[in-house]
Chain A
Amino acid sequence: GAGVSQSPRYKVAKRGQDVALRCDPISGHVSLFWYQQALGQGPEFLTYFQNEAQLDKSGLPSDRFFAERPEGSVSTLKIQRTQQEDSAVYLCASSLHRGPSYEQYFGPGTRLTVT
Chain B
Amino acid sequence: AQKVTQAQTEISVVEKEDVTLDCVYETRDTTYYLFWYKQPPSGELVFLIRRNSFDEQNEISGRYSWNFQKSTSSFNFTITASQVVDSAVYFCALSGADQTGANNLFFGTGTRLTVIP
**Which residues of B are found within 8 Å of A26, using beta-carbon distances?**
none
Contacts of A50 in B (CB 8 A): 101
* Least CB distance, A46 to chain B, in whole angstroms: 9
Task: Please provide the chain B residues from 25 to 49 with a CB less than 8 Å away from any CB of chain A in the complex.
Answer: 32-33, 35, 37, 42-47
Q: Interface size of A by Cβ–Cβ distance < 8 Å?
A: 30
Query: Does any Cβ of B come within 8 Å of A48's Cβ?
Result: yes
Q: Are B101 and A104 in contact (CB under 8 A)?
A: no
Asked whether, in the complex, the Cβ of A104 is within 8 Å of the Cβ of B102, the reply is no
Known contacts A42-B109, A100-B97, A101-B50; A56 and B102 CB within 8 A of each other: yes
Query: Is A33 part of the binding interface, using a Cβ–Cβ cutoff of 8 Å?
Result: yes
The answer, among B4, B33, B109, for a CB contact under 8 Å with A41, is B109
A104 touching B47 by the CB < 8 A rule? yes
A18 at the interface (CB under 8 A from B): no
User: With A100-B33, A100-B95 in contact, is A108–B105 under 8 Å at CB?
Assistant: no
Please name all residues of chain A whose beta carbon is closer than 8 Å to the beta carbon of B95 when the two chains form the complex: 100-101
Task: Tell me how far the C-beta of A56 lies from the nearest C-beta in chain B, rounded to whole angstroms.
Answer: 4
Q: Would A105 and B43 be within 8 Å (CB), given that A43-B105, A48-B104, A50-B101 are in contact?
A: no
Contact A99 B107 (CB under 8 A): no
CB distance from B98 to the nearest CB of A (A): 6
User: Which B residues are closer than 8 A to A by beta carbons?
Assistant: 4, 32-33, 35, 37, 42-47, 50, 52, 91, 93, 95-98, 100-110
Q: Which 3 interchain pairs have the tightest Cβ spacing?
A: A42-B107, A56-B102, A106-B45
